[in-house]
A and B are shown apart, each in its own frame.
Chain A
Amino acid sequence: MARAATTTDAFNAVAEPRRRQILDLLRARERPVNELVELLGLAQPQVSKHLRVLREVDLVHVRDEGRHRMYRLNPGPLQPIHDWLGAYEQLWNERFDLMDDVLDDLGKAETDDDGDD
Chain B
Amino acid sequence: MTATTKGSATVTLPADNQILITREFNAPARLVWKAYTTPELIRRWWAGQRGTVTSVEVDLRVGGRWRYVMTANPGFEVAFHGEYREIQEPVRLVNTEAFEGIPDPDGNAALVTMTLTEKDGRTAMEMLVEHRDQEGRDAHVNSGMEGGMQEAMDALEELAASLA
Give me the 8 closest cross-chain CB pairs, A-B, nearest first.
A94-B48, A15-B16, A83-B152, A98-B45, A87-B149, A103-B27, A80-B156, A100-B2
With A58-B163, A106-B27 known as contacts, the answer to whether A100 contacts B6 (CB < 8 A) is yes
Residues of B42-64 at the interface with A, using a CB-CB cut-off of 8 Å, are 44-50
- Chain B interface category by residue count: 35 or more
Query: B102 interface residue, CB < 8 Å from A?
Result: no
Question: Which residues does chain B contribute within 8 Å of A97, judged by CB atoms?
Answer: 6-7
Question: Which residues does chain B contribute within 8 Å of A96, judged by CB atoms?
Answer: 5, 8-9, 23, 25, 45
Tell me, in angstroms, the Cα distance from A110 to B88 when the chains sit together: 22
Contact B32–A103 (Cβ < 8 Å): yes
20 contacts between A and B (CB under 8 A): A8-B160, A9-B160, A11-B134, A16-B16, A58-B163, A85-B13, A87-B149, A88-B145, A88-B149, A89-B9, A93-B7, A94-B50, A96-B8, A96-B23, A100-B6, A102-B45, A103-B26, A104-B2, A107-B27, A110-B31
Contact B2–A92 (Cβ < 8 Å): no
Instruction: Please give the residue numbers on chain B whose beta carbons come within 8 Å of chain A beta carbons, in ascending order.
Output: 2, 5-13, 15-16, 19, 21, 23, 25-27, 31-32, 34-36, 41, 44-50, 134, 138, 141, 144-145, 148-149, 151-153, 155-156, 159-160, 162-163
Q: Which of A8, A83, A100 contacts B25 (CB 8 A)?
A: A100
With A15-B16, A80-B156, A102-B41 known as contacts, the answer to whether A91 contacts B50 (CB < 8 A) is yes
Tell me, in angstroms, the Cα distance from A12 to B123 when the chains sit together: 32
Contact A15–B31 (Cβ < 8 Å): no
Tell me, in angstroms, the Cα distance from A83 to B7 when the chains sit together: 16
Q: Which residue of A lies closest to B156 (CB)?
A: A80
CB distance from A104 to the nearest CB of B (A): 6
Contact A95–B46 (Cβ < 8 Å): yes
Question: Which residues does chain A contribute within 8 Å of B25, judged by CB atoms?
Answer: 96, 99-100, 103
Query: A30 interface residue, CB < 8 Å from B?
Result: no
Contact B160–A106 (Cβ < 8 Å): no
CB distance from B11 to the nearest CB of A (A): 4
Contact A87–B134 (Cβ < 8 Å): no
Question: Which residues does chain A contribute within 8 Å of B10, judged by CB atoms?
Answer: 89
Query: A25 interface residue, CB < 8 Å from B?
Result: no
Question: Which residues does chain B contribute within 8 Å of A101, judged by CB atoms?
Answer: 2, 44-45
Tell me, in angstroms, the Cα distance from A15 to B144 when the chains sit together: 23
Contact B163–A84 (Cβ < 8 Å): no
CB distance from A90 to the nearest CB of B (A): 8
Contact B11–A92 (Cβ < 8 Å): yes
Q: Which residue of A lies closest to B44 (CB)?
A: A102
